[in-house]
Amino acid sequence: MLDRLRGDGERPVVDPGLAGGLRDWLEVGLAERLGPLSDDRPVRVTKERLNQVLVCEAHLAASQEGPRPVTMELARGSLVDAAFRHWITVGRSDDPFVDALAALDVAGDQADVVAFVEGLHASERAQLAADVAHHAHSIASGWPLVSHRWLPRTQERIEVPLVGGRVILTAVVDLLLGAPAGERASVCLVEVKSGARRLEHRSDLLYYALLETLRTGAPPFKVATYYTASGDIDDEAVTEDLITGVLVRVLEGTVRLVRLAGGAAPVPSPNPLCAWCVGLPRCLPGQGRAGTSIPRRGRLEDGEESAHRAPPAVSVRGAG
């Protein structure tokens, strides 16, 4: 595992002008689109918001109308992330479920998840504890103790302000390995996933790589996604072409987020996931794509309550 993450080959030489050129590209691309924004409310860009706004602006707007719903899958993911951090920092766990839940409680920023878990029926809680124990066993089997010489950092927050702080690119990386770069790239970024492989996982990692480049002046030499259920790891060497490519994606998504923050109406983009969108009752293009019709009470006005019914099962084959 560690051999794959750290490697034994020669690391790429850091281009001292790369980070500055990338920042200039972003600054110039955003500067002309910030007029409607107030200075005291910056647009915060995360991997989740980027993914959502690039798929469908209307979906992003609908998903932000209420608090995040906590599901069993979300709770499991949060607990497994905490179990991974516990293993990397402590090196053992007597009860992964109890230790992970205690870690979330102490952190304080996932009180909704803690409340959800504590409110589960005893049988559901026992099944969740068994799932977390399975993932924790996979972690302990696949990850040896990481030497302190590699400077392991868990849940490290990266924030990159742009255009005078009016836009902030932000991310929280599950694990960073390696000392800050000198002449050669030396950092590896790792994202931990408790679910199945998804196409956007690679884009998320490259977004992290871009932020690390902007923050430190040097790109990471490798990024990796670790899947706790199977113990598999997907790793990829970082090149300047990859960093440049993800910058184009980040700039496009950020421009859309800026436009929405300035009061523009979100544009719907019907896609195979429309049937599962929380905004489907108010979206005629989405209903057409999903192949369903949701009854509404008269004209649909802003803030008007809509009648809901579950959409029919829709094939998402080929959705990625």
pLDDT tens per residue, range 137-151: 999 998 988 888 889
Averaged pLDDT for residues 264-271: 90
Nearest CA among 124, 144, 114 for reference residue 231: 144
Averaged pLDDT for residues 88-116: 91
Q: Of 8-17, 76-85, 98-107, give the lowest mean pLDDT range.
A: 8-17
Give percent helix, percent strand, percent coil of the chain, each to the nearest 5. 50, 15, 40
Tell me what pLDDT residue 91 has.
Answer: 87
Indicate the pLDDT class of residue 78, thresholds 50, 70 and 90. very high
Averaged pLDDT for residues 42-48: 94
| Domain range 2-66+148-261, CATH class | alpha beta
pTM, entire model: 0.85
Instruction: Give whole-number Cα distances, 306 to 43, 67, 68, in Å.
Output: 30, 18, 20
The domain locations on the chain are: 2-66+148-261, 72-142
Tell me what pLDDT residue 312 has.
Answer: 38
**pLDDT > 70: percent of the chain:** 89
Nearest CA among 194, 195, 190 for reference residue 174: 190
- Which two structure tokens, joined as six digits, stand for 203? 């884009």
Please say if the pLDDT value at position 315 is more than 70. no
Cα–Cα distance measured from residue 211 to residue 169, given in angstroms and rounded to the nearest whole number: 7
**Residues 191, 226 contacting (CB under 8 angstroms):** yes
Tell me what pLDDT residue 300 has.
Answer: 36
Indicate the pLDDT class of residue 131, thresholds 50, 70 and 90. very high
Tell me what pLDDT residue 293 has.
Answer: 60
Averaged pLDDT for residues 279-291: 84
Cα–Cα distance measured from residue 7 to residue 169, given in angstroms and rounded to the nearest whole number: 29
pLDDT digits (tens, 9 = 90+) for 286-313: 888 877 765 443 333 333 333 333 333 3
pLDDT digits (tens, 9 = 90+) for 252-267: 999 999 999 888 999 9
Strand boundaries in 123-232, DSSP class E: 153-162, 167-177, 188-193, 222-227
Tell me what pLDDT residue 38 has.
Answer: 56
Please say if the pLDDT value at position 181 is more than 90. no
**Residues 309, 278 contacting (CB under 8 angstroms):** no
